[in-house]
Amino acid sequence: MIPPTTRARIVCAATACTAFALLTVAPSAAQAAGTPDQRRACRQDAMTFCRAYVPNVKRITACMEKNVKKLSPLCRKQFR
């Protein structure tokens, strides 16, 4: 079993790598990942409900839409 702190570092590294790849390689893909405000509003919910789909933006988005009733109010606003 991976210790929680190590797991958190792996998730942070994966998220950072995904963000870097989206921003440098494919600007249109970066736009698909949402605006900085949208990402900020939903980051915690994405990690809570959709962690298994990181770094696949389409699958994360589908997961978030499926769980929209469970999302925080600020994040839920992003899906209206």
Q: In this predicted structure, which of 16-20, 47-51, 55-59 has the lowest mean pLDDT? A: 16-20
In the chain, % helix, strand, coil (3-state, to 5) comes to 80, 0, 20
Amino acid identity at 61: T
Tokens standing for residue 26: 């494919």
Taking a C-beta distance cutoff of 8 angstroms, is the pair 11, 51 a contact? yes
Residue 39 is classified by DSSP as H
Q: What pLDDT shows up at residue 3?
A: 63
Q: What pLDDT shows up at residue 40?
A: 93
Query: What's the structural domain count of the chain?
Result: 1
Which domain, by its residues, includes 46? 4-77
User: Which has the higher per-residue pLDDT, 19 or 70?
Assistant: 70
Q: What is the mean pLDDT of residues 48-77?
A: 94
Look at residue 11 and tell me whether its pLDDT is greater than 80: no
Taking a C-beta distance cutoff of 8 angstroms, is the pair 40, 75 a contact? no
